[in-house]
Amino acid sequence: MLSDLRKEEEKTPAREHIYNFQGSLFTFDQSLAHTGWVHLRLDKTTKNGVSIWGRGQFDAPDRLEGHAANIKRSIYLHNEMYEMMMDYADRMDVVVCEMPPVANRMQRPESSLLAASMLHLAASRIGIDVNMISAQTAKKIWTGNGSARKELIKVYLCEWWPELKEIKLTSHQIDAAANGLAWAETWDPTKENEIL
């Protein structure tokens, strides 16, 4: 199916990616139900300049239902993120997440907004700023098309980094990696913590 997606898009082949940022990067693809995260090390001495040092996913309990379910999921997510960040705090140079979409661009925009808020809150408790990148910017960097379907990012990312197929990241972790790497490519030290 992914190869069919690749054929549907008349885009240029996978290109070289040059990362302006070098160091330890924690990147998230957040939602209240499933938040994937990946710990990347960007170093020009490694193949492609990138290696994975850790990964995980926070999955909200299925039993959370009713009117207050999103609030309960938010609290659960915050607690999980904060605990993980406390464990990794001495290795976090930068934290990146996808910018929550504005209303009407997705079915439930509040899920991404609440999840991003919990990420910002957890990071602020240990003194770390969160950088954001828009989905359109990440898509443009990986596919050349800011309106491309999200699934296509995986195709291009795996073309550029074939080892990812063996690592077997979840779709949320792949999205997190793509967002973080796109941010690292567009990072400008004179405009730190700017939304890209």
- CATH label, 2-10+19-186, candidates 3.90.1300.10, 3.30.420.10, 3.40.50.720, 3.40.190.10: 3.30.420.10
Please return the burial class of 18, using the count of CB atoms within 10 Å of its CB with bins 0-12, 13-18 and 19+.
exposed
- Region 97-115: mean pLDDT is 75
Euclidean distance between CA atoms 85 and 46, whole angstroms: 25
> Which one has a higher pLDDT value, 49 or 38?
38
Q: Using the CB atoms, write b or e for 81-101: b if 16+ within 10 Å.
A: bbebbeebeeebebbbbbbbe
Beta strands in 10-112 (DSSP E): 23-29, 34-42, 50-59, 94-98
The continuous run of DSSP H or E covering 173 comes out as: helix 171-186
Residues 168-183, mean pLDDT to the nearest whole number:
90
What mean pLDDT comes out for the span 176-180? 92
Residue 99 clears pLDDT 60, i.e. is over it: yes
CA 192 vs. chain centroid, Å, equals 18
Residue 66 pLDDT greater than 90, yes or no: no
The pLDDT-based confidence of 1 (bands split at 50, 70, 90) is very low
- Tally Cβ neighbours within 10 Å of residue 22: 15
Provide mean pLDDT across the span 24-41: 91
Q: What is the pLDDT averaged over residues 150-173? A: 82
Average pLDDT over residues 3-22: 59
6 pLDDT exceeds 50? no
Looking at residue 16, what is its pLDDT?
66
pLDDT tier at 75, thresholds 50, 70, 90: very high
Whether the Cβ atoms of residue 84 and residue 92 lie closer than 8 Å to each other: no
Residues 6+ apart with CB under 8 A from 148: 9, 11, 139, 142
- Report the pLDDT averaged over residues 90-98: 89
pLDDT band at 107; cut points 50, 70, 90: low
Over residues 150-169, the mean pLDDT reads: 81
Count of other CB atoms within 10 angstroms of residue 44:
10
Q: Domain-by-domain residue ranges, the chain?
A: 2-10+19-186
Is residue 58 over pLDDT 90?
A: yes
Cβ burial of 16 (10 Å; 0-12, 13-18, 19+) is exposed
What pLDDT does residue 130 have? Answer: 92
Q: How confident is the model at residue 52 (pLDDT cuts 50, 70, 90)?
A: confident
